[in-house]
Structure formats: structure tokens, C-alpha cells
A and B are shown apart, each in its own frame.
Chain A
Amino acid sequence: MSALGELRHIRGSTRGSPRKRDNRAALVFLLPWFGGLFFITLGPVVASLVLGFTDYNLIQPPEFNGVDNFTRVLSDERLHQALRVTFTYVVVSVPVQLACALGLAMLLDRGMRGMAFYRSAFYLPSLLGSSVAIAVLWRQIFGADGLVNRLLAVVGIEGRGWISDPGTALSTLIVLNVWTFGAPMIIFLAGLRQIPVMYYEAAATDGASRWTQFWRITLPLLSPIIFFNLVLQIIHAFQSFTQAFVVSGGTGGPSDSTLFYTLYLYQRGFNSFDMGYASALAWLLLMIIAAFTAVNFWAAKYWVFYDD
């Protein structure tokens, strides 16, 4: 039985008052979050649902227009472009990011000197990654006179304006997202610690190679953690906004190549005075994310392994 399973076992056997007390403590700790949810988030959420069925230009009162906003989705070519960009971003950046996170977590798990330092160093980008400052920095690094091109020039390759070329602009944002692998890495590290060493010892005694050990022990036992990270990072990637907003100056350009869904939603709402449609788009995004998550949970039955 793994430590995770053990934990579940212990919790399951707890009865009566200690558990209730635990629950009460949990509620107290959650209180600020509930406060935020009820007093700050919930109102706008309900309002946006209502506005999704109206024509609302921010200045005049909203006018009910039925499902017009939702049928408009079908013929909106820029929205389709935004969906293409967002799906590409999610489908490419999340797996690459998780692979990097897992790889580094396994390196760090070996317990080397200065481990705490490395862990913090690799985690740092996660804290900074979605900030405006980093997006501005990214713009500089990948600019025509930026760091990347200077480095390429050293080895004799002529660079280009990475963020100003529609062929490469999205890639720079994918790299930025991959670079923020710290949060899933920390979770992987915790997961790796849970795998009992005796499994590896037994496998080594039987002559299993490192690769087989990884494939047969690490991956299956880590699969609940991988699943958790996958769900979280997919949701996170769908909601990306800041990076594209700053790097493209709010346009989603060049030529709509970095037009994230959220960015397009923002443009409709705040630049085109089209808040009714923007609200409908927000709910559509919610449904898309919910659908992805549901598929994820359904697929989990086939590859996630709970050891208990």
C-alpha cells in the first residue's frame, strides 16, 4: 500500500468528533475564499449569464435578444481563429510543460546538494510567468534586436522578429508557458516521494532497467498526480490572457496569430462595446473547459491507476 493509499485508509477509519472538528476547521480556513466567492465573484458571474442573452453596449441599458449571441458564434470568423489559436496553445504547451516538469522533478528527486535552492529556482518562473513584467521581458528577448537574435548571431544564424512574425509569434508564447513548469514540478516532486523505494529495489534485483522502472513503476504510480496536473494545466492554459495581451499590445497580432480566446472576448467587450456578446463568449468558454475536463475524467478510467 502506498503512502497515499495509507492516508486514505487512515482518514476513512476516522469516525465521530475528530473528523467533524476537522471539517469545521476546514470551513473556517475556507471562509475568506467563500467570502470572495459570494461577495465578489458570484454577482458578476450571474450578471454575465444574464448579459449573455442581451445586446449591451455598456452605455445604454441592455436589451434582451434571446440566443442571438450564441447563434452569432457560428459565423464569427475571428472567433474561429481565436479557437484555433487557443486549442493549438493548449494542445502543444500543456504536454510539453508537463514533460519538462516531470523530467526535472525526477532529476531533483535524486537528492543532490543544494536541492532547496534548485527547487526554488525552478519554481520561480511559475510565480512570475503570468505577470506583466515577464511578458514585457519576453517581448524584449524575442524582439528583432532581442537577446535570442543576438545569441543566434553569435553562431552565425540570422534571426527574425519572433513576436512580430505571424509564423512564430504563438510559439514564443508557448515557450513562455512551458517555462512556467514550476508548479506542476513541485507537485510531481511530492508525488515521487510517495512511491516506496522498495518497489525500485525489488525491480533492480530482478534486473529491470531504469527505463523499465520508469515505465512500469514511476508512471503508473504517478498517474493520479499526472492526471491532476493535466486537468489543472489545461484549465489554466485555456484562461491565458496576460501574456498574449502584453506581447501583442492587446491586438492578438500580428495578423491574429496570438488571438487567445480570452483576448478576443476582452476586445469584444471593452474595445467594441459588445458586452452582451462578450458575456456569451465567457459562458461558451466555461462550457468548452467543462467539456474538456469531463472528457479528461472519462479518459482517466483508462490510464489513471489508483493503488489501493
Chain B
Amino acid sequence: MRRLGAILLATALTAGLAACGGESDAGQELSDKPVTLRFTWWGSDARHQRTQQVIDLFQKEHPNITVKGEFKEWNGYWESLATTVAANDAPDIIQMDELYLASYAERGALLDLGTAAKHLKTADFDANALDTGKVDRKQYALPVGLAAYSIVVNADLLAQYGVPLPDDSAWTWDDLKRIGGEISKASGGKVTGVQSWGFNDAGGLNIWARQAGASLYDEKGNVTIPPAVLANYWTYLADMAKTGVAPPPSVTVERASAGLDQSGTATNASVFGTWWNTQLTSLTAASGKKLQLLKLPGEATAKSPGAYYKPSMFWSISSRSKHPAEAAVFVDFLANNEAAANVLLTDRGVPANNKIRTAITPKLAETDKAAVAYLDTLKVGAAPRVTPNGASNIEAILKRHTEEVLFGRATPEQAAAAFIKELQAEIDGA
């Protein structure tokens, strides 16, 4: 049995190694024979339709290239990507997220886009933006759009309860709690002042750490958020739930797993909510009320700016693509072509390509214009380090410990210690 095991293991190993060896050159000339590329992304139905239109435009320009789209929901996307990569059957072009970038790049699953420079131009991108797609100084991913964390406020509800719009250039977290409390009281609990947050989103935690002069990870990719800062975060959250400023824990849990359309902001059940600025359009469509973007509380008194530009997503190419040159041409089309941008608009975030951003701004809807304006006027610090290899699950871990705190199964201090230990173990194990 031991020998059989050894033979099987050896077979598996050689199969794996052989798979790594077959890399072709991304800088070669384009083929004039028929080429089929597979392109995968996650998103909503609206995104699928727009992306298909762009694929059609591309195929018209390159008649010998066929692009097959494979689209999924966010949740199923990563399981399916992991299995296709493991089966050596990864799609050629991959829509990538900051959470998973290092996990895939450091394991050699992504192509260094620098080797494809002949077909893929990045001249119209800011150096800062490009840096967000680098791992070990290699450009493994090209940022698609930018987003920034914000507070979305329902101005109609605010007026209904006679509460003035807060001054977002000076407000603090205590102000948010106080104003939220006034609303919950005025509505008799029907509408809560604040929608719970801290779920499914490392953004809020990043901001909280940065305002306290700390950061979630250090440069080497170890967890460095001080336990006290993390404990304060959960104390604040638990306090809001307890005092009725935010909904009770079980409602929060239910909404957190339900998606944007059933959130407190979208259903007009909460007045303030934390969102990425680019979600304003979808939220407005769902709520039907006047929604506005506010800067985050606590920025005026913060030790360092909490706000930062987060790349909404990236384009990556599989390192095992059989047609890296053609894949690079397609990514170039997605990133630099104005006709493509006119279809996509801000669906994948405010374009990180400066030229494209200027070109499409006049064509945007009011809410999208507001999202662009928010980005332009925001005072931001340097972007946090890319999520380290192994920490891709941070949002699930964060959610679980938040639940522990909200349901009183752990104190904020216990949860902080447990969270840090668990996240660090995931990074060490990768």
C-alpha cells in the first residue's frame, strides 16, 4: 500500500510539474488562425449583458478570435475558479479581486502582464493605480475601476423625520451614532438610523484601522491590527445594535447574506449605510428615493486618512493560457477601447484608466456622476497592502466573529484576539 501511495503521489507530482512547464510567450505575434479564448467574471445580469456586447464588438474587430464568456455569482465564482485552475483548465482571462490576487499570483497561476506589454498598453493609468495590481513588483493584474468607501444617506427619509443633513467634513463616529439614534426614535423603530455593517466587507475594517493610525497587515503580510483597535470596532457595532440605532443582530445577519437589494438602504429601512461609492446607482434604483454620498465619519479627527482608492476589480490572464498574446489583446480592448468603455460605463467601478474616465463622464447618469465626483473630491491615503496570500477568507472570518460579538457569545476583546489568531494562522498556512 505504501508503494502504491508513493507511485500515485509521484504521478500526481509529475502531472502537476508538467502542467507548469507549458507556458507560451505573451509577446509573440498574433495568430491568424482561429483562436478561442475563455473569459470569466462575476456579477449581476446587467453586467452579463454589457460584457457580452463588448465581446461582440471585439469579435467584430478580430474575426479569427472567439471569446466565450463564463459568468457567475460572486459566491460560486471563487470555488469554480479554484477547481478549474486545479484541473489545469483555467479560463484565459480572469476577472480578479484584491482579496484573491496574491493567493493566485504567488502560487504562479497568473501571467506577469509585463511580458505582454507589446499587446497591452497601460500608459493611461496612474502609477498608483497600477501598483495595486502588483505582487512582488510584477504586474499580475490590471485595475479595472476604482471605488472608495462612503456613507450612503437617504435624504428623503432624513427630511421626513426632520433631521438635518450632517456636515460630512467634520462629523465623528459618535455623531453618526447620535443622529442615527434620533432617527430610530422619531420613526418608532420602523426605520433604523444606521444599517449594521462589519459584515462581508474588509473595507470598513481597513478604514477603522487606518483612522486609528494602524493597518490591517504590515508590508510583509502579517496581521498587525492592534487588538484594542479591533475591540473598539466591535464595541461600537454592538453598542449600536443594543441601543436600537442599528437593527437587532438576527435582522443584520439575515440581510448580510441576502445581497444589495434586500439591504436596509435599498428597502428604505435604514437612513445611513456604509457602501462603496459606486454602488450608489444600484441602491438608488432599488430604493427609489434620493440617496446621497457622504464622507466617512471620523476622517477630520483621524490620525491618518482612513479613505483610500480600492480597485473594484482587476483583469488577469492565466499563466497557463495557450493564447497569452490574444488574451492580452482582449484585455487591452477592455481597458483602453473607448467603444467598449461606452458600453461598460461604471458597471465595474469608475474606470481607473484616466483617458477613459474623462471620455465617459459626460455620458453618465446623475448617480454615477455623483460617484465620480465623490472620488475626485475625496482626500485619500495610500492604498493598503494587497490582501496577503492565504487571507482571502478574511470576510468570512470577520463575519463569524462579528456574529459572536453581536449575539453576546464573545466579548469584543475575546473576538479580537481570536480573529487575529485565526487570520494569522490562515496566512501562515498558505
A contact residues vs B (CB 8 Å cutoff): 46-47, 49-51, 53-54, 57-62, 64, 143-144, 160-161, 163-167, 248-251, 253-256, 267, 270-275
**The stretch of B9-17, B209-217, B298-306 that contacts the partner chain:** B9-17
Complex Cα distance, B8 from A53, in Å, reads 12
| Residues from chain A with Cβ under 8 Å of B9 in the complex | 50, 53-54, 62, 64
Complex Cα distance, B12 from A54, in Å, reads 11
Complex Cα distance, B404 from A275, in Å, reads 27
B contact residues vs A (CB 8 Å cutoff): 5, 8-9, 12-13, 16-17, 20, 75, 78-79, 82-83, 85-86, 103-104, 107-109, 249-254, 257, 390, 392-393, 396, 399-400, 403-404, 407, 409, 426, 429-430
A46 touches B8 (CB 8 A): yes
| Residues from chain B with Cβ under 8 Å of A270 in the complex | 78-79, 82-83
| Residues from chain A with Cβ under 8 Å of B12 in the complex | 47, 50-51, 61-62
| Residues from chain B with Cβ under 8 Å of A161 in the complex | 250-251, 253-254
Contact of B409 among A163, A249, A255 (CB under 8 A): A255
A249 touches B75 (CB 8 A): yes
Contact of A60 among B8, B107, B396 (CB under 8 A): B107
Complex Cα distance, B407 from A164, in Å, reads 10
| Residues from chain A with Cβ under 8 Å of B257 in the complex | 164, 248-249, 251, 253
Nearest B residue (CB) for A72: B429
| Residues from chain B with Cβ under 8 Å of A249 in the complex | 75, 257
Complex Cα distance, B403 from A254, in Å, reads 6
Interface of A is mostly: loop
B409 touches A62 (CB 8 A): no
Given A58-B82, A143-B254, 11 more A-B residue pairs with CB atoms under 8 Å apart are: A59-B107, A60-B107, A62-B16, A144-B250, A161-B251, A164-B250, A167-B407, A253-B399, A255-B403, A272-B392, A272-B429
User: In the complex, how many angstroms separate the beta carbon of A273 from the nearest chain B beta carbon?
Assistant: 6
B400 touches A273 (CB 8 A): no
Complex Cα distance, B104 from A279, in Å, reads 21
What are 13 A-B interface contacts by the 8 Å CB criterion?
A50-B5, A50-B8, A50-B9, A59-B107, A59-B108, A62-B16, A165-B250, A253-B257, A272-B390, A273-B390, A273-B430, A274-B429, A275-B86
User: In the complex, how many angstroms separate the beta carbon of A137 from the nearest chain B beta carbon?
Assistant: 15
A59 touches B79 (CB 8 A): no
A273 touches B403 (CB 8 A): no
A60-B403 contact in complex given A144-B250, A255-B409, A270-B82, C-beta closer than 8 Å: no
Nearest A residue (CB) for B84: A58
| Residues from chain B with Cβ under 8 Å of A274 in the complex | 429
User: In the complex, how many angstroms separate the beta carbon of A122 from the nearest chain B beta carbon?
Assistant: 31
B250 touches A59 (CB 8 A): no
B83 touches A254 (CB 8 A): no
Contact of A271 among B78, B107, B108, B253 (CB under 8 A): B78
Complex Cα distance, B119 from A105, in Å, reads 71
Nearest A residue (CB) for B107: A59
B85 touches A272 (CB 8 A): no
User: In the complex, how many angstroms separate the beta carbon of B259 from the nearest chain A beta carbon?
Assistant: 10
Contact of B407 among A165, A250, A275 (CB under 8 A): A165
B86 touches A59 (CB 8 A): yes
Nearest A residue (CB) for B259: A249
| Residues from chain A with Cβ under 8 Å of B426 in the complex | 272
A61 touches B86 (CB 8 A): no
A59 touches B104 (CB 8 A): yes
A251 touches B396 (CB 8 A): yes
| Residues from chain A with Cβ under 8 Å of B108 in the complex | 59-60
| Residues from chain B with Cβ under 8 Å of A59 in the complex | 82, 85-86, 104, 107-109
